Structure 1
Amino acid sequence: MSSMKLRRTSLSTILVTLFLLFGCSSSNVVEIVSVTPQGEVPLLATIEIEFSKDLAPPDKQNMWLEDEYVEFTPAIAGKFKWVSARRLLFSPDAPLEAIQEYEAEVSDLVLFQTGLSPDFDDFTFHTPDFDAVKADVFWTHIPHQYYTVTVQANLHFNYPVQPEQLREHLEVRRDGERIADVQIISEQPSEVIAVTIGEVQQEDAEQLFTIAVREGLMSVVGKKALQDTREFNTALPPITQLAVTGVASGYDGATGWIEVATTQMVDEKDLDEYVRVRPGRGLQYFVSDNIFRIEGDFGSEQTVELIIEKGLPGMFGGKLEQEFRQQVSFVDIQPAVNFADRRGRYLMFGGEHNLEINAVNVDELDIEVSEVFANNVLHFLNQHRWFDYDYGYNPTFYVGDFGKELYDETVQLSTGRNWLGRHVINLKRVLESRRRGIYVVRASSSEDRWIQDSKIIALSDLALIARLADDQITVFVNSIEKGLPVEGVDVTVVSTNNQQLFSGRTDAGGMVRFENVRLEADGFTPRMLTAVKGEDFNFLDLDDARVETSRFDVGGLSQPSREYVTFIYGERDLYRPGETAHISGIVRNEHIRPVSNTPVICKIISPRGRVFREYKLGLNAEGSFEQAVDIPDYALTGRYKIEVYNGAEVLIGTSAINVEEFVPDKVRVRLSGKEKSYRPGERLRVDLEAEYLFGASAANLRYEADVQLKHRAYRSDAYPDYSFSHSSVKNTRIENTMLDGTLDA
């Protein structure tokens, strides 16, 4: 009996002991409670992790930290912030990669000195796969055939698509029958591709269009093609009916906008009569394809009523059969941070050192200023050489070990919702650094670091201009403040692999020239210039600053002699037999100084290659000569070559004239139009008047015309420095029109 009792007591003791052990262990474990967002995340996202216990001490909270609390694969540049003792935010410095899977592992660094045991599960997320989003279908004109209509479809994707690749994966059906006459209008990669469906039979019945984007289509991002075929079914009302297919809205500063999509284009002149917005003041209307846009002052209204009255006519005869009413909410515009000057890199060394930053819907800005050391400038530039601007995001420059962070600060912005706020960053504090180099300024939202803009800045008074020839590099240094040449500047040429190739000092003209570049460089390629004078340092990236010269004649002088530069000219380059040509020449040496009192020989070579005339002349004190050349009536017609030799009969210059018996009559053409402006759908009339230069009318001549209409950006005399080109309304593409015929009498 006592033995049985002992066993029961021992068993109870063991159970209590195990309970205590497991109880203590459970209370000492910290876990991840939640991760947001999960699964598919947008390219711009902030990741929040909540833990089961308090971890971060107060001195680590509410500040951006560079400690790697979470390791991402592939790596994501960004910073962490503890918004509370158990909530950790990660904000990427830039958008996430498109079509990318990410893995995340929480580090033990999150435990600090708490003594807790981690029980963290790894988590994964991914950015959206490539997909076709929607298709808008509407009536429109066939280009240049305003008496014929077609159906256009705008296909929307979440990543840009090459139009030619879409052609192989596109199928369009009308009422179940496949349409073969499908043409892709768009020429450049875009997220919206326009497609026309050819001439469509106008029917009184509704037509059902099925647009299929087949699997296998690849976006410009690559990586992963469209996995499944996407089909969009759209019912298009007959051309005699106008229907509203969608309404979108937005708000930008003091101006709100509403965009209305319809099944056919409307006339801008009719909108003021048929469209009302309550409340709304100062409404303006704009039309593009099947979308008309309403802009106006809606005050602080969050919701307005859009009314489109019955009878609104379309451009092709359709009418709105029923009154359209809809409550329209104004959504907030996306938060954004941008430098006012996007391209400039230089601030004057002795100036105010101010940078203007624009922000909208951002309450706090984090300003970070870092320095890139002079010896690391090239490596830093190479790291950011191929920034991808395809998605319109701002660049992000990482300094890392190429320099150091000088300071950071947080500023409050007091602008209202949806209003553009401006802040001035003063960089005078960077002058406290004793090292030469350039600077990187980054401004970002305090909440979401990927809402940011970064900028490379050089504080200098030294403006650099470089000319790279085949075997020579010439550098000019001027003062930015005074615009005058700067003497005594130490200029260094650095190769692509960061080796010093040449160094020199500018002369009184602010110029330094490096000769024999091919031999001295010994296989190295110049990539960057640096300029130093006292505490002033500047650089010039030769790749980034290179001027594309393919459009220009930059071959330079083509001279037969290296010792002389000869310019030969006449009063004109065309003569008739029996006339006299007056030929003049100017001769300079290689230093562009006159060659005076020196004999020269001038030869005129006939079209058959024989010497037609030869003159022995002498240069005057200015290094020039003149000679009259008689052209007899029997002279051969064609091109005559002029050759000038020095006394040793070495060719030093050439030119040419033409001798022609008859020159075709020249015609002057005048174009004029009755009106200076036209609206969509109106006929453009152009009057052409042609006459010969000697006064007679050019009657019954055949003509050919290439009519080109191009969009011109709007400019305001009242706001000459403001660009009005950034609008959500996209210009339509206008094909060239070829015309031919015969002029009347």
Structure 2
Amino acid sequence: MKTKKFLVITIVLLVATVVSLAIYFNSGSTSAKVSDSSLFSEYISAYTSGMISKKSSISVKLTESTASQIKKDGIDLNALFDFSPSISGKAVWVDDQTIEFKPDEDLKSATHYIIDFKLGKLLQVGDEYKTFTFDFFTIKQNFDVSVDETRTINKSTYGLQKTSGTIILADYEPIENVQKIVKAFKDDKQVNVKITAAGENKYSFEIDSITRTNSASTLKIKWDGSPIDVENTGEISVQIPPLDQFIYMSYKIYDFPEQSVQLQFSDPIEGNQLLNGLITISNEEDLRFIIDDNLIKIYPSKQLKGEYNLTISEGIQNTKGTKITESQSFTIVFEDLKPQVRLVGKGVILPHSQDGLVLPFEAVNLKAVDVRVIKIYENNITQFLQINKLEGNSELRRVGKIVYQGTVQLDQTPNTNLSKWNRFTLDLNKLMLAEPGAIYRVSIGFRKQHSVYPCSDEDSNENASASSQQNEKGIESSFEYFDDQTEYSYWNYYEDGYYENYWENRNNPCKKSYYNTQKSVSQNIIASDIGVIAKKGNDGSLTVFVANILTAKPMNNVEVEIYDYPQQVIAKGVTDGSGKVSFTKLDKPYVVIAKSGKQRGYLKLSDGTSLSLSAFEVSGSSVIDGLKGFIYGERGVWRPGDSLYLTFILEENGEPVPNNVPIVFEFKNPDNQLIKRIVQKKNASGFYQYNIKTDENTVTGNYTANVIVGAATFDKKIKIETIKPNRLKIKFDFGLKKLVKNQDISGDMEVKWLHGAIAKNLKTSVELTMSPITTKFDRYQDFVFDDPTKKYSPSLEIVYEGTLDDNGKTKVKAKIDAGEMASGFLKATFITKVFEKGGDFSIDQFTIPYYPYSSFIGLKLPKGDKTRGMLLTDTTHQIEMVIVDSDGKLISNSHQVEMFFYKIEWKWWWDQSE
């Protein structure tokens, strides 16, 4: 019996030991294997650690002193890395200190890698330092699918709807794999799902043109993660109500950027109705409503928490005037806000105040925050601006260092309700000695121990050890590794290594997965009252304006220095009484520094930082050889037989034109034949008049007036047309500066006889023709945005036919769609005709640019060889690419781009006649 008892105990102990070991290894603990990084701090300053993407490279950054001792030639860098499990790839130097191993293929997801870095093969070290062992984990792939909203496409019949949603992945996945995850079915018939990239590891999907009929139907959105080796399946059902039913559909509660409730209805909501009293949330008053298509967004006047009763009363109307016939009431729950911090402003320049250098921020459900301040030294600003804007954060280690790191308590003020958003101020003067002229990057983060979010006792006990580990690791656990945070994303550190169920719990403040470096916020600030504006000309001129930010008054006697990209001063000047200083013939100015006492103002002059001039016509006119010229006439169109009275104005901004240089005027017909040539001497006024008489048999068309001043030529198109005069005055436009695809547009037309009487009950029509124009954006003049593989064929179509009412008015509605064959921008020309009773008509037309796409890809080819401008074969050429919106602004979200390369053959002896 004793023997049996001993065996049982032995087996139990053995099983317990095996289970313990399994738990030990699955938890990611590697303390027996991984080197103590502090012992290698003399040689290694940073290395890949924590949880990384499967797309990441593996890097080791040596200290400056170590890197300076190494002779880089002849070293087999691949031999420095020993991976378990093995990884094939190539190691390279990416800078003087960093060795990066680039895998040939993506790393395996949810895998623990251990690396032996052979430091002893780089330089002579003691035996205990020859191998540095470190580890990291790759993210376990997973994803979430959510339906955002369903909107009505066809506003007139409600017959078509569009459902959109979001797919968020834990790690990178090619879009072609993501497209296999989600499928949609309407009444068991598969429908098309369009998936596009919407950000890092984030994709948007759309199910377009969902037919809404007279009977109810169901749209099922199903997902299956097997194409990306993830065990995740499920479905969401979206109800499509009958056409004759106007009903409430669903609601969502949002906490960010401000608390709101979003109600979704089956039809578009009439925008001009008052909703007060029709929609209520318990006894809350002063609710704010926003109607957005078929959505109603409700914003409470104060932060709500707990259960509330939401009532939707009968009487709410759709755009056709149909009302909801039944009231509904249901309970909604406003949960506690998750622990968060956010910045109040986005600017970099912080003017001086009586309170000193103070940075406001807001926090919720936090009793303390961690603060880190990195100082970018004044003498390093030009280096910093080589790769950054003022708000940038790349390669900070090269130009600055940490000057403060500590914890700031937020619970020192009595009666502060920390469960709501509260504004706090960070007095940087109390944390450090602020130096005028330096830029400070202030980061604010938090750890689990700082949270006051209510959690169950079970969750609190579960996370006690995590908080303890965070405390041991200190403030560093709140922030990114102090280095380039954009290019080297693998430095990012997730607390406690690889969390079990990290993905599932990432949004749960009661779980340790919630607290990581991605929750921190950062902002660059510089203490200064100096505001700098610069205007750069194509002729190398630069005008700098300096003003006081607090008073907006010009600042005189401010020293202004202009630097080029290699950080050399290329010009200096001092502002005058109007705060202005001008420079000429500058060779590629890059940075402006304004100095007034100890204060500094900085302005980067690279093309990507210039302000967009597309919204308003303020870009000015081009200057040719220092000359500005303008030709104008007394009208816009002339008839055959009319006399033309043209005037040319010349302004000399640079070197004056010599007096012996003639001012030559040339007038050419549409066939480019010279009709008249007038040569005049230069005069003091700069005004030159030209009178030209045409006869009744003059050819109609576009004539050209040229004025030649030395090497500069100025021209203007002169229209001579046979015109039958209008008898009606047509007032009509859409009030838009541009048109976009599938846009519903409307405009009011008003017609009167030229003698002022109202034109009643006349027939009218609006025709549309579209023609291609070159796609150009001011900031990207060297980029080509037009697709040469597409050719748009113009056509004339009638977009409106109707009759004026008794007041000579009518409402014109139209929908514009040019299809998918436009190579880029199109010019939409609307031709309006109003017909008299006798058959004659008056005509008017106007043009509006049409943007057939929401985004445009531009390519900039490198310059060819000097002799012929050709791109030579067997040579690597770098092509620049930008993605901009219709305003010419860069789109920061990631995009999946397909590129096609065509080989074009041309034989001059065969194709020269084509």
**Distance in 2, Cα, partners of 1:425 & 1:576:** 72
Contact 1:477 1:506 in 2 (8 A): no
Contact 2:349 2:526 in 1 (8 A): yes
- Please report how far the alpha carbon of residue 232 of structure 1 lies from its aligned counterpart in structure 2 after TM superposition: 0.8
Task: Give 2:649's aligned residue.
Answer: 586
- Please report how far the alpha carbon of residue 633 of structure 1 lies from its aligned counterpart in structure 2 after TM superposition: 3.8
Task: Give 1:91's aligned residue.
Answer: none
- Please report how far the alpha carbon of residue 606 of structure 1 lies from its aligned counterpart in structure 2 after TM superposition: 4.5
Task: Give 2:410's aligned residue.
Answer: 412
Selected match of 1:536 from 556, 581, 599: 599
Contact 1:703 1:741 in 2 (8 A): yes
Give the counterpart letter for 2:235 in structure 1: F
Selected match of 1:624 from 677, 684, 687: 687
- Please report how far the alpha carbon of residue 373 of structure 1 lies from its aligned counterpart in structure 2 after TM superposition: 1.3
Relative distance call for 1:430 and 1:381 in structure 2 (3 A) is farther
Moved more, 287-296 or 538-547: 287-296
Task: Give 1:227's aligned residue.
Answer: 230
Task: Give 1:668's aligned residue.
Answer: 730
Contact 1:38 1:125 in 2 (8 A): no
- Please report how far the alpha carbon of residue 143 of structure 1 lies from its aligned counterpart in structure 2 after TM superposition: 1.9
1:700 aligns with 2:700: no
Contact 1:241 1:321 in 2 (8 A): no
Give the counterpart letter for 1:535 in structure 2: K
1:659 aligns with 2:720: yes
Secondary structure of 2:380 counterpart: helix
**Distance in 2, Cα, partners of 1:161 & 1:125:** 17
1:374 aligns with 2:378: yes
1:72 aligns with 2:50: yes
1:546 aligns with 2:600: no
Task: Give 2:532's aligned residue.
Answer: 464
Selected match of 1:740 from 800, 806, 809: 800
Equivalent runs, 1:483-494 vs 2, <5 Å: 483-484=553-554, 486-487=556-557, 489-494=559-564
Q: Sequence identity of aligned pairs in percent?
A: 16
Task: Give 1:455's aligned residue.
Answer: 523
Task: Give 2:189's aligned residue.
Answer: 178
Give the counterpart letter for 2:50 in structure 1: F
1:444 aligns with 2:445: yes
Secondary structure of 2:366 counterpart: coil
**Distance in 2, Cα, partners of 1:315 & 1:625:** 60
Give the counterpart letter for 1:741 in structure 2: E
Relative distance call for 1:605 and 1:267 in structure 2 (3 A) is closer
Selected match of 1:403 from 381, 400, 403: 400
Relative distance call for 1:379 and 1:287 in structure 2 (3 A) is same
- Please report how far the alpha carbon of residue 167 of structure 1 lies from its aligned counterpart in structure 2 after TM superposition: 6.0
1:557 aligns with 2:622: yes
1:213 aligns with 2:223: yes
Greater share of strand residues, 1 or 2?
A: 1
Superimposed CA distance per residue, residues 686-721 of structure 1 (whole angstroms, 9 cap, x where no aligned partner): 764445657684933422489xxxxxxxxxxxxxxx
Task: Give 2:877's aligned residue.
Answer: none
**Distance in 2, Cα, partners of 1:655 & 1:499:** 43
Equivalent runs, 1:123-162 vs 2, <5 Å: 127=139, 129-135=141-147, 141=152, 143-146=154-157, 148=159, 152=163, 154=165, 157=168
Secondary structure of 1:557 counterpart: coil
Secondary structure of 2:50 counterpart: strand
Contact 1:471 1:517 in 2 (8 A): no
Relative distance call for 1:301 and 1:136 in structure 2 (3 A) is closer
Relative distance call for 1:622 and 1:188 in structure 2 (3 A) is same
Contact 1:211 1:233 in 2 (8 A): yes
Secondary structure of 1:657 counterpart: strand
**Distance in 1, Cα, partners of 2:555 & 2:238:** 70
Secondary structure of 1:472 counterpart: coil
Give the counterpart letter for 2:721 in structure 1: E
Contact 1:487 1:510 in 2 (8 A): no
Give the counterpart letter for 2:207 in structure 1: V
Superimposed CA distance per residue, residues 259-316 of structure 1 (whole angstroms, 9 cap, x where no aligned partner): 5667888889898788765454455666667765555468876333456799999999
Equivalent runs, 1:270-289 vs 2, <5 Å: 277-278=281-282, 280-282=284-286
Relative distance call for 1:144 and 1:232 in structure 2 (3 A) is same
**Distance in 2, Cα, partners of 1:343 & 1:577:** 59
**Distance in 1, Cα, partners of 2:678 & 2:47:** 89
**Distance in 1, Cα, partners of 2:162 & 2:560:** 66
Count of aligned pairs between the two proteins: 585
- Please report how far the alpha carbon of residue 627 of structure 1 lies from its aligned counterpart in structure 2 after TM superposition: 4.3
Give the counterpart letter for 1:178 in structure 2: K
Give the counterpart letter for 1:457 in structure 2: I
Contact 1:104 1:124 in 2 (8 A): yes
Equivalent runs, 1:8-407 vs 2, <5 Å: 72=50, 127=139, 129-135=141-147, 141=152, 143-146=154-157, 148=159, 152=163, 154=165, 157=168, 170-174=182-186, 177-180=188-191, 182=192, 184=194, 193-196=205-208, 198-200=210-212, 202-203=214-215, 209-213=219-223, 215=225, 225=228, 227=230, 230-232=233-235, 234=237, 236=239, 239=242, 248-249=252-253, 257-259=260-262, 277-278=281-282, 280-282=284-286, 294-296=298-300, 302-305=306-309, 325-326=330-331, 328-347=332-351, 352-381=356-385, 399-400=396-397, 402-407=399-404
Contact 2:145 2:165 in 1 (8 A): no
**Distance in 2, Cα, partners of 1:209 & 1:491:** 64
- Please report how far the alpha carbon of residue 456 of structure 1 lies from its aligned counterpart in structure 2 after TM superposition: 1.4
**Distance in 2, Cα, partners of 1:621 & 1:315:** 65
Secondary structure of 2:762 counterpart: coil
Superimposed CA distance per residue, residues 128-173 of structure 1 (whole angstroms, 9 cap, x where no aligned partner): 63424345897x7452352536684645545799999866654333
Contact 1:179 1:197 in 2 (8 A): no
1:515 aligns with 2:581: no
- Please report how far the alpha carbon of residue 195 of structure 1 lies from its aligned counterpart in structure 2 after TM superposition: 1.9
**Distance in 2, Cα, partners of 1:553 & 1:650:** 27
- Please report how far the alpha carbon of residue 342 of structure 1 lies from its aligned counterpart in structure 2 after TM superposition: 0.9
Give the counterpart letter for 1:376 in structure 2: N
Contact 2:311 2:330 in 1 (8 A): yes
Contact 2:305 2:336 in 1 (8 A): no
Equivalent runs, 1:565-584 vs 2, <5 Å: 565-584=628-647
Relative distance call for 1:351 and 1:310 in structure 2 (3 A) is closer
Contact 1:504 1:512 in 2 (8 A): no
Superposed CA RMSD: 5.9
- Please report how far the alpha carbon of residue 340 of structure 1 lies from its aligned counterpart in structure 2 after TM superposition: 1.9
Which one has a bigger Cα radius of gyration?
1
Gaps of 5+ in 2: 1-19, 32-44, 53-57, 60-106, 115-132, 452-477, 479-516, 736-743, 770-796, 805-836, 838-914
**Distance in 1, Cα, partners of 2:682 & 2:658:** 7
- Please report how far the alpha carbon of residue 493 of structure 1 lies from its aligned counterpart in structure 2 after TM superposition: 1.2
Could you tell me the TM-score, scaled by structure 1's length? Answer: 0.60
**Distance in 1, Cα, partners of 2:575 & 2:746:** 62
**Distance in 1, Cα, partners of 2:627 & 2:152:** 64
Superimposed CA distance per residue, residues 197-234 of structure 1 (whole angstroms, 9 cap, x where no aligned partner): 63255447xx66543335577xxxxxxx4635734153
Secondary structure of 1:198 counterpart: strand
Superimposed CA distance per residue, residues 42-73 of structure 1 (whole angstroms, 9 cap, x where no aligned partner): xxxxxx999xxxxxxxxxxxxxxxx9999636
Relative distance call for 1:605 and 1:151 in structure 2 (3 A) is closer
Contact 1:286 1:294 in 2 (8 A): yes
**Distance in 1, Cα, partners of 2:562 & 2:583:** 11
**Distance in 2, Cα, partners of 1:685 & 1:586:** 41
